[in-house]
Amino acid sequence: MGEQKETQDQHGQVEKMPGEQAETGPQTEAWEASYRALAEVCPDGIISFDASGNIIGCNEAAAIITGYQPGQALGKHARDIMVTPPADEFPLYWERLLHQKSLEGEFEILRADGAKIPVWARAVAIPDSRGKLSRAVSYIRDIADIKEADSLKDEFIGFVSHEMRTPLTVIIGAVSTVLTESEYMSQDETKQLLQDAVNEAEELSRMLTNLLELSRLQGERLELVLEPINVEPLVNRVVEEARERSSAHRLVTIFQQRGIKLNADQKRLEHILRNLLENAISYSPRSGEIRIQVERNKSQVVFIVTDESTGISDTDRGRLLKPGAFPGSLLPGTGNGAGIGLLVCRRLVEAHGGHFRVQSLPGGITFSISLPIR
């Protein structure tokens, strides 16, 4: 008898399960139809191989993952699309599959466009009546997003740990010094150390608040409480708080007109402005000017914060505005949780249906946020 082969339709999709006897009848046809329907709606890729490892069928999901048009992958050998295991180890892998009946693990495949992507795959050997490998079926799942998420998670943990270490070090050092050296210190020196500890504790509190907000935003658990807000008193209150924390900078407020109002979440709007001012204070030179300007047009209220810092590069600006921006990649080396704070600002503005913009010019950075009046 000649070798039995799977048949495909004109798109390279399976018409009959390979390895099945050429049985006919309503039950067999119904089963095959069910298999084809299941394979085509399955979100994971399904690829069929003959005994030599040549591709003899695949579903649409597999075509999307591998980047081949339906039918293009037919006849290609498994090692042509697999980066791991290496081609010279493939015969051993195929032999293991026959003896173990199934293999599962993480592999790397080569897409039609030359890109390498990680996949999770499980291959099942299907022997013939004599126990020899007649074909194999494998499902593959693109895990590139999962791998990236794991990488970002690890990077995020490292970033947060680094950002928290500085204020904690100052707090521990200041309090320890007061406890062990207070009898040799003047009252002013003791007071200054304790004030340093308080300042860093407040910085740590703001950082944790930003992390909680970011967690709510990432998990889509943020609920805005919109209410009418008189903008000028709110801005003046936030600016006065900033002045108390830093007397070394000149904070200037400019209102295009009096009595500007909008509907927004007051707590979150204060949080946005507080983060922008903290960022400006942290990176502007001492005695530098920080301007907070409020304007109104027909449908929006625009808040503009301009500082005299050294600015950011176009690359870092692009990172900040990128939809999937990660805090650790923002303003590298700036410290003080700036990346987290700016990312939270942008996400809170977008949650209000507004726009977040960054303009870096010689002599400073301008952050502008536009919120709908509603």
Residue for token pair 């320890």: 176
Q: Are 285 and 291 in contact (CB under 8 A)?
A: no
State the pairing for strand pair 261-265/133-142: unpaired
Element (H, E) at 255: strand 250-255
3-state DSSP assignment of residue 235:
helix
The CATH architecture of the domain made up of 147-372 is: 2-Layer Sandwich (3.30)
Chain centre distance of CA 233: 36
Calculate what percentage of the chain has a pLDDT beyond 70.
Answer: 86
Question: Would you say residue 193 has pLDDT above 90?
Answer: yes
CATH number belonging to domain 26-142? 3.30.450.20
271-330 pLDDT per residue, tens: 999 999 988 998 888 888 999 999 999 899 999 999 988 777 677 666 666 655 554 444
Eight-class DSSP state of 34: H
Structure confidence at residue 17 as a pLDDT band (50, 70, 90): very low
Q: Are 114 and 143 in contact (CB under 8 A)?
A: no
Structure confidence at residue 14 as a pLDDT band (50, 70, 90): very low
Q: Where does CATH 3.30.565.10 sit in the chain?
A: 147-372
Question: Would you say residue 335 has pLDDT above 50?
Answer: no
27-49 pLDDT per residue, tens: 767 777 787 788 888 889 999 99
CA distance 331 to 195: 28
Q: Where are the strands (E) in 33-101, listed by range?
A: 45-50, 55-58
Give the dihedral of Cα atoms 243, 244, 246, 247; nearest 10 deg. Answer: 80
Question: Would you say residue 351 has pLDDT above 70?
Answer: yes
3-state DSSP assignment of residue 364:
strand
CA distance 324 to 190: 45
Q: Where does CATH 3.30.450.20 sit in the chain?
A: 26-142
Q: Which residues of 133-151 are buried (b: 16+ CB within 10 A; e: fewer)?
A: bbbbbbbbbbbeeeeeeee
pLDDT for the residue numbered 322 = 61
Helices and strands per DSSP (H, E), number in the chain:
10, 12
pLDDT for the residue numbered 88 = 82
**What tokens does 50 get?**
């003959």
**Other Cβ atoms closer than 10 A to 204:** 18
Q: Are 102 and 125 in contact (CB under 8 A)?
A: yes
Distances (CA, A) of 194 to 56, 174, 177, 188, 247: 74, 6, 10, 10, 18
DSSP H stretches of helix in 3-58: 26-41
Question: Would you say residue 62 has pLDDT above 60?
Answer: yes
Q: Are 112 and 85 in contact (CB under 8 A)?
A: no
pLDDT for the residue numbered 69 = 83
79-89 pLDDT per residue, tens: 889 888 787 88
Top pLDDT among 3 and 215 is at 215
